[in-house]
């Protein structure tokens, strides 16, 4: 017992140089690393079942140190969410730049969305609603982050030659719903690539 105490003592003040246990893209600063690691764990286990201690361990430091970068777990999540939305928004914008007629563009959008959401599961998955459950003080900020992306979708749908009596709002919800739900069943290496899935969805939603 006394020995253990002594051994523990020796480490006081010495950095432990814990190695991160989760691979993250290189070239990220410490803060970004933590966001990446946290995103990966949230994606894997969900928000509630991922503790600050888990995140700290995976990132190679101790839980107390996280609070040097983030004032709370919710603030950390907000940043993860925002990073995910940025990836999605960027991927979608690039895809739309390929141009084409409105239906082709929607196909590009769907494919890009699926790829971003399904292939970045190691970095983020929750890109969407209700993960840290319900209303909290950051709710408005979550919505803001999401709205920027949803506007891109609305604009793309707005250009389609849909029947005039068909509700665009419902169409968008159906489209995004199927896209987002794919996170619950998609497994890498299956019969379909994310692009296949996106294109298939658009094909099925195209009136003839």
Partner DNA sequence: GTCTATACAGCGATAGAC
Partner DNA sequence: GTCTATCGCTGTATAGAC
Chain residues that interact with its own copies, rule: CB under 8 A: 44-46, 48-49, 128-130, 133-134, 166-167, 170-171, 173-182, 184-185, 192, 197, 200-201, 203-205, 207-208
Measured CA distances, 85 to 18, 22, 48, 55 (Å): 30, 21, 20, 21
Q: Phi first, then psi: give them for residue 23, nearest 5 degrees.
A: -70, 130
Measured CA distances, 74 to 68, 165, 183, 199 (Å): 14, 42, 22, 35
- Residue with smaller CB distance to its own copies, 69 or 175: 175
User: Nearest distance from residue 21's CB to its own copies, in Å?
Assistant: 19
Separation between Cα atoms, residue 60 and residue 21, nearest integer Å = 7
- Supply angle C-alpha 28, 31, 34, rounded to 5: 90
- The listed partner (its own copies, DNA, none) that binds 158, CB under 5 to 8 Å by sort, is none
- The listed partner (DNA, its own copies, none) that binds 38, CB under 5 to 8 Å by sort, is none
Q: For residues 30-49, which are near DNA according to CB under 7 A?
A: 30
- Residue with smaller CB distance to its own copies, 96 or 178: 178
Separation between Cα atoms, residue 102 and residue 93, nearest integer Å = 14
- The listed partner (its own copies, DNA, none) that binds 54, CB under 5 to 8 Å by sort, is DNA
Given 36, 37, 61, 117, the residue binding DNA (CB under 7 A): 61
Query: Of 13-21, 36-44, 146-154, 187-195, which part binds DNA (CB under 7 A)?
Result: 13-21
Separation between Cα atoms, residue 100 and residue 125, nearest integer Å = 29
Number of residues that bind DNA (CB under 7 A): 27
- Residue with smaller CB distance to DNA, 59 or 95: 59
State yes or no: residue 139 binds DNA (CB under 7 A): no
DSSP 51-100: -HHHHHHHHTS-HHHHHHH-SSHHHHHHHHHHHHHHHHHHHHHHHHTT--
Which residues here bind DNA, judged by CB under 7 A?
A: 8-9, 11-16, 18, 30, 50-54, 56, 61-65, 67-68, 71-74
């Amino acid at each position: 017992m006394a020995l253990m105490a002594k051994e523990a003592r020796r480490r006081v003040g010495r950095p432990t140089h814990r190695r991160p246990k989760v691979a993250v893209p290189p070239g990220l600063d410490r803060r970004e690393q933590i966001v990446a690691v946290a995103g990966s764990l949230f994606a894997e286990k969900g928000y509630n079942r991922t503790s600050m201690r888990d995140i700290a361990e995976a990132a190679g430091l101790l839980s107390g140190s996280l609070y040097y970068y983030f004032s709370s777990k919710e603030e950390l999540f907000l940043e993860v969410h925002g990073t995910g939305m940025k990836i999605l928004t960027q991927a979608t914008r690039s895809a739309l730049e390929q141009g084409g007629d409105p239906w082709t563009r929607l196909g590009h959008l769907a494919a890009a969305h699926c790829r971003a959401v399904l292939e970045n599961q190691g970095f983020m998955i929750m890109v969407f609603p209700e993960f840290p459950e319900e209303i909290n003080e950051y709710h408005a900020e979550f919505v803001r982050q999401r709205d920027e992306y949803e506007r891109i979708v609305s604009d793309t749908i707005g250009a389609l030659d849909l029947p005039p009596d068909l509700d665009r709002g419902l169409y968008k919800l159906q489209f995004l719903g199927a896209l987002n739900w794919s996170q619950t069943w998609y497994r890498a290496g299956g019969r379909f690539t994310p692009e296949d899935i996106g294109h298939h969805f658009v094909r099925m939603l195209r009136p003839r």
